[in-house]
Structure 1
């Protein structure tokens, strides 16, 4: 048994070990496997290297977090210096003030900030802040949009044709077995880009609504551009009815120097942030109007909304985030915008010239490839048939086999170390996929 015996990859061995300690062999449900995960040894710039010695251009960037790619020198240096001084304290540090000053000075509508540890916490406390400020309990949110792992924010995140109900009045659906029925009763579900429906439902429930939770371009919902009239209608109705607007920019803050809300004309009362503001370390933040953020104020006794957290504003995340954000200047965003346009245009031209039933959505440093002949306008249009899901899986697998990590059914993200050569490589791999799978793609279109 030598010579011709198959070589077992270290990733396969690691996955076998993992299955003895994790429920399904992984530590989070978002880990992709085909049929085993890629176990990473290191990252450098826009590339990842797995434990089997393979190199991949990384379009996941830890779910859009690593806007400067891997092992970004200013972050490495800042964290190294801080580690030598201590990793966490019960007392505040000056670095948290500096990062908060940067955020308040850059992002419109943010007068005050509180730091937490994750995007989920940021959304959670933004919802609680809206409840504390308004005295109301219900929220409205978009069907299909992802906002982290808070019961109310998870409602209708994974709605299906079997349970999502009437388009005029979407049904509130549970994300996991055991969701309390009372949670579903406290969430009003809106459809993205449904101008009339959103205004009508918000008005109907206004007396009980604390806030509208709105991702300006929902990633899980399709990475679809918002219609200006939808943003305007939601905003005007909310103002009229005294309902707060929470912009979830945990992912989409990377859309411009001032974030996604500024890009699309949304004027939120609260903003949930995370990912890029931590420089690759765990972080979340809630920012907003001074009067709304006053619910956190404990200077004269117990606040309307107590918020703590052992690792909130920990100095490692603060210095890493500060280093990353300081290097996200206008030139960096212009570079990302240029690369994003180049990739989306290249993918679009390849699709058009071959007449295959695919399309591309996204903006700035984000893009997503859909197994659809037309660009969708809301979540229900993106829900995949079995045939469409097969196409997406083949596409992701093909990219992996050709040295590119392309997220499955999620936003692909660009990082500042990427070059026009990297952009060309992405388009070239996609063209190769189209040319080798064209017959299957056209057959899929006939089955839709």
Structure 2
């Protein structure tokens, strides 16, 4: 793996840094994937790895699941996109309503777009501008939700967001007391990956729900990553009913997807039947291929599959923690907490496991017991190797 990949040599000539996604870069440069099947990915050098990244949690059934591919191909054979709505988006919206209890949905093409749409919906519905969010959480690459001080973000955009520490009830109470009548929405990821997969406390979430309602603000839950943890999402564990929900990742079946859900009242700004004030297009939003693949992926990810996968993840977390590692998360999402994530990434890759560049492990239903055991051994070997270097 020390030999320079010819593909990388070509890539840096035409792509800044050699690829398109900041989240997949690992120094000196990441390998290039050529194919995936089930839980296995093969790179351009022929090296095989168990995929514990799964395109940053999106591939809940691993790669090239035959039923998902068949659904996508069937839809594509009748046309990949239209300047008209189709039954596929109706089917998907009904499926999401059934799983979440959230009555209405709109679709887009990424998690970033979903958060953009969610923020617009909240502002249009309330007539307010201010959004409260929490430090360390990643809500996509939209200007308003990237890190404070990020390059290229106008001050006027940043000033329309208040960023508070997570799980800090006092800070939130103070902010709502001072600004509550100007807040359109409180945006939270209940277990944010970028912040280390540390779950929100019940007290904190209950306070968000209570004070949002009291001040006429909307509670918006970003479930783009955490939706996999329950039949209707992680928020159901907390016993709350959000006013808005953003989804993505697993609901696309491996294809580009984003969605927001809410009540007819909250989403009425998008409705031409209600003289909606928000015009929101999207050439490939709700395209039949994505809708068909996503609906199939969700139907395959039923309660039994969810419980089995969460159980496997919890067991892996227990075993790794017992061996002395710090592992955050819940269910099928795990986060290895180490100082040098780049060294960890390469050690695991050499030992046949692909993880997120920040130490994220995301299990899929394509993994068997033997592969999960291989993941455990690889993590322990990598951890031991890193300890030896110190």
- Scaled by the length of structure 1, the TM-score of the pair is 0.84
Q: Residue 362 of structure 1 aligns to a residue in which SS?
A: strand
Q: 2:71 aligns with which of 61, 64, 78?
A: 78
Asked if structure 1 preserves the Cα contact closer than 8 Å seen for 2:344 and 2:359, the reply is no
Give the secondary structure class of the aligned counterpart of 1:223. coil
User: Partner residue of 1:160?
Assistant: none
Q: Distance in 1 between the 2:359 and 2:180 partners? A: 32
Query: 8 Å contact 1:219–1:410 — kept in the other structure?
Result: no
Change (3 A) 1:188 1:230: same
Q: Distance in 1 between matches of 2:83 and 2:327?
A: 47
Q: 1:127 aligns with which of 113, 119, 133?
A: 119
**Does the Cα contact within 8 Å between 2:219 and 2:242 map onto a contact in 1?**
yes
Q: For 2:281 and 2:386, how far apart are their aligned partners in 1?
A: 53
Pairwise CA distance, 1:245: 0.8
Quick one: structure 1 residues 123 and 8, their matched pair in 2 at CA, closer, same or farther if it must change by over 3 Å?
closer
Cα distance in structure 2, aligned partners of 1:39 and 1:190: 38
Q: Would you say 1:214 and 2:188 are equivalent positions?
A: yes
For residue 288 of structure 1, what is the aligned residue in structure 2? Answer: 262
Counterparts of residues 373-392 of structure 1 (less than 5 Å): 388=339, 390=340, 392=341
Report if the CA contact (8 A) 1:203-1:237 is conserved: no
Match of 2:15 in 1: 22
2:367 is aligned with 1:430: no
Return the offset for 1:410: 4.9
Query: Which has the larger Rg?
Result: 1
Say whether residues 1:343 and 2:316 are aligned partners: yes
Q: Separation in 1 of the partners of 2:106 and 2:361? A: 29
**For 2:387 and 2:18, how far apart are their aligned partners in 1?**
35
Q: Is the 8 A contact 2:184 2:218 kept in 1?
A: yes
Deviates more, 1:185-194 or 1:137-146: 185-194
Q: Does 1:62 align with 2:35?
A: no
Q: Which residue of 2 aligns with 1:275?
A: 249
User: Which whole-Å CA distance do the structure 2 matches of 1:68 and 1:182 have between them?
Assistant: 42
CA-atom RMSD, angstroms?
1.6
CA change 1:8–1:396 in 2 (3 A) is: closer
C-alpha displacement of 1:204? 1.4
TM-score (norm 2): 0.96
Deviation at 1:52, TM superposition (A): 1.5
Match of 2:300 in 1: 327
Q: Could you say what secondary structure the match of 1:199 adopts?
A: helix
Which residue does 1:312 correspond to in 2? Answer: 285
Quote the residue 2:224 is aligned against: 250
Picking from 418, 421, 434, the partner of 2:367 is: 418
2:312 equivalent to 1:362? no
Instruction: Choose which of 172, 175, 190 in structure 1 pairs with 2:150.
Output: 175
Q: Per-residue displacement from partner, 1:399-425 (whole Å, max 9, x unpaired)?
A: 011000121215320000112222211
Structure with larger RCO (C-alpha < 8 A, sep 6+)? 2
Pick closer, same or farther for the CA change 1:221–1:436 going to 2, 3 Å: closer
Q: 8 Å contact 1:252–1:260 — kept in the other structure?
A: yes
CA 266–218 in structure 1, closer or farther in 2 if over 3 Å, else same: farther
Q: Which of 154, 157, 160 is the aligned partner of 1:186?
A: 160
Task: Give 1:43's match in structure 2, choosing from 36, 51, 58.
Answer: 36
Give, in whole Å, the separation in 1 of the partners of 2:383 and 2:103: 48
Counterpart-to-counterpart distance in 2, 1:118 and 1:78: 20
Indicate whether 1:116 and 2:108 are aligned. Answer: yes
Tell me which of 178, 190, 198 is aligned to 1:204.
178
SS at match of 1:272: strand
How far has the Cα of 1:332 moved from its partner? Answer: 0.8
Cα distance change, pair 129–153 in 1 and its aligned pair in 2 (3 A): same
